[in-house]
Structure 1
Amino acid sequence: MPLRIPDKLPAIDILMRENIFVMNNSRATSQDIRPLKIVVLNLMPLKITTETDLIRLLSNTPLQIEVSFMKLKSHTPKNTPIEHMMSFYEDFDVMRNQKFDGMIVTGAPVEHLPFEEVTYWEELTEIFSWARTHVTSTLYICWAAQAGLYYHYGIHKYPLDGKMFGVFKHKPELPLLPIFRGFDEYFNMPHSRHTEVKREDILKNEALTLVAESDFSGVGMVMARNGREIFILGHLEYAPNTLDTEFKRDWGKRDDVSVPLNYYPNNDPTQPPMVTWRAHANLLFSNWINYYVYQETPYNVNDIK
């Protein structure tokens, strides 16, 4: 089944050229199907790119999904046209009385700041609390995963000596979990971050389960509340060229930029990137939608609690 997304969202044309079947609201309303309601709190600077990346992965399911986009009232994006934000995003205040089957909270380029110094921290933590009673399962990505672990469970983040930048091999620690159904013994995941959470801090907290990690990049995925909260420390949603774009943007302009590891053949940035995570990314998002959202959410979305 296709995704149900707002009419004229830029991602529609991009994904249709990739032969991904999406359905706008006008057509979807003619089908007598109760779609899953997924809300995306998009904190990334390039909103349209992130929208497209996430919709591409959410499309890999036989279920009809209605995607909505949430924005913060306390933060105005600088890299996305205001017309786009007004057309496709709603403030949390407008959406707070709604309930959703699933939620995705993206990363944000604010990891250099203590959490409490992020200008929108108060509103963000209000949303984190709201999600526990208004969303069946929430997927936190990269900085949002660190922020969610800190707010809900007191897990601190720590600065790295150098940027964790590249594609790294991870091992599912509990391979029989539904989130890993169909996975191989190892899977690759891109990372692009300057901070980390410590393995020992996760293991000390009985409410948290470390479900995937890497010998090189450390904690990869953490789960809580039987999958109602899933924290992904990397970027499985990244498109093939995302790390390449970031590297070429910063190379020669910052002193903390190195070639992303395990990404270019022989680590040679003059070569086209190797895409080694796409199959597992599609599988993980499909498993999340099926086993942690669709199988767990009530038929009447307003019964979520």
Structure 2
Amino acid sequence: MNQPLQIGILNLMHDKLRTKNELQQVLESTIQPVNLQFFYPRLHYQNRAVPTVVKTQAKPLDLAAVAQLDAFIITGAPLDQLEFGQITYLPELQELFKVLKKVPQRLYLCWGAMVALHELYRIDKQLLPRKLFGVYPQQVLTADPLLAGLKNGFWAPHARYAEANRAQIAAHPQLEITAVNQAGNLFLVRNRLGNETLLFSHLEYQADSLEAEYQREIAAHPERHYQQPETSLAPVFGWQRTQQIFFHNWLNLVATTVKNNGGLIYG
């Protein structure tokens, strides 16, 4: 039996326990054995006690431990309406990105993709006219091993108020946009070395996660109007097959990269 892939996850989502459970479900349900290690940013709690729910499901970010991993994931975060300079733990992320250059594969999700593009490639973040919130068909722009097994029109959930600048990405010599939704919003970006994947969809979400996000928002600010997720055109849990195929492909990519001692897989 293959040795488990050692994968670190910096969990920045609002509902950390739900996110941990979602990522465990999608990453532990493939044929690749994995050992998941969850972390939280130390600077986020520099002036207050670390909540019990955080301490019980994750460890403080340890850069020395990260450098020994096979892969690393930075999740999304409910921060896309803020400027990057307003994020209290941005200096810690900047140090993390330096260490991640030693890690064979990196996967950045939603806001994690935005901050990675900004810090690593100087790609701007821009607010959308309205929240992109729902389940939408996606279009493949160019062949990508992470999309192998998916055809144009595959379903994926989006939940964000911002987008990385598509024109800047398209003009960057080290980056390639491989899929977008039907309106042209980003779905998947990769670097041409094949070791950084930037996924703008919350593919880790389970069938009830979009509704749970909507309920969290209105509970936090009942005085505001929040749009419900657009799901009427999609089958119930219409992105489940996309989820299974994508994470299966990504773990295979991690395993192959590790087998090749960090060698490039595609580019």
- TM-score, normalization by structure 2: 0.88
Aligned-partner residue type, residue 280 of structure 1? T
The answer for unaligned runs of 5 or more in structure 1 is 1-31, 267-272
Which digits, 9 at most, give the CA deviation of each residue in 1:135-185, with x for residues without a partner?
11111000010000011011101111211111111112123x211111122
In the alignment, structure 1 residue 101 sits paired with structure 2 residue 70: yes
Quick check: 1:47 aligned with 2:8?
Answer: no
Query: Matched residues in 2 for 1:298 and 1:265: separation?
Result: 42
**Structure 1 pair 295/33, CA: closer, same or farther in 2 (3 Å)?**
closer
Q: Does 1:72 align with 2:33?
A: no
| Distance in 1 (alpha carbons) for counterparts of 2:174 and 2:186 | 16
Structure-2 residue corresponding to 1:224: 191
Deviation at 1:67, TM superposition (A): 0.8
In structure 2, what is the Cα distance between the partners aligned to 1:83 and 1:250?
22
The residue aligned with 1:158 is: 126
Q: Shift of residue 248 of structure 1? A: 3.2
Number of the residue aligned with 2:211: 244
Aligned positions of 1:121-270 closer than 5 A:
121-133=90-102, 135-175=103-143, 177-216=144-183, 218-251=185-218, 253=222, 255-261=224-230, 263-264=231-232
User: Equivalents in 2 of 1:254, 1:201: separation in Å?
Assistant: 37
**Partners of 1:89 and 1:259 in 2: CA distance:** 31
Whose Rg is larger?
A: 1
User: Corresponding residue for 1:276?
Assistant: 238
- Structure 2 distance, partners of 1:217, 1:121, is 29
In structure 2, distance between residues paired with 1:105 and 1:37: 15
Distance 1:297 1:245 in 2: 36
SS at structure 1 position matched to 2:254: helix
Secondary structure of 2:100 counterpart: helix
| 8 Å Cα contact 1:157-1:197 kept in structure 2 | yes
Query: How far 1:60 sits from its partner (Å)?
Result: 3.0
Distance change in 2, residues 1:45/1:249 (3 Å): closer
Residues 186-222 of structure 1, C-alpha deviations (whole Å, 9 max, x = no match): 2111111111123211111011000111132511110
Name the SS of the counterpart of 1:297 in structure 2.
helix
Report the 3-state secondary structure (helix = DSSP H, G, I; strand = E; otherwise coil) of the residue aligned with 2:108. Answer: strand
Partner SS for 1:128: helix
Q: How far apart, in 1, do the equivalents of 2:19 and 2:238 lie? A: 19
What is aligned with 2:25?
56
**TM-score, normalization by structure 1:** 0.78
Query: Quick one: distance in 1 between partners of 2:63 and 2:189?
Result: 30
Aligned partner letter, 2:105: S
What's the CA shift for 1:111? 1.4
Separation (CA, whole Å) in 1 of partners of 2:63 and 2:257? 26
**Count of aligned pairs:** 260
State the identity as a percent.
29
List runs of 5+ in structure 2 lacking aligned partners. none
CA shift at 1:288, angstroms? 0.4
**3-state SS, counterpart of residue 226 of structure 1:** coil
The separation in 1 between residues aligned to 2:38 and 2:20, in whole angstroms, is: 9
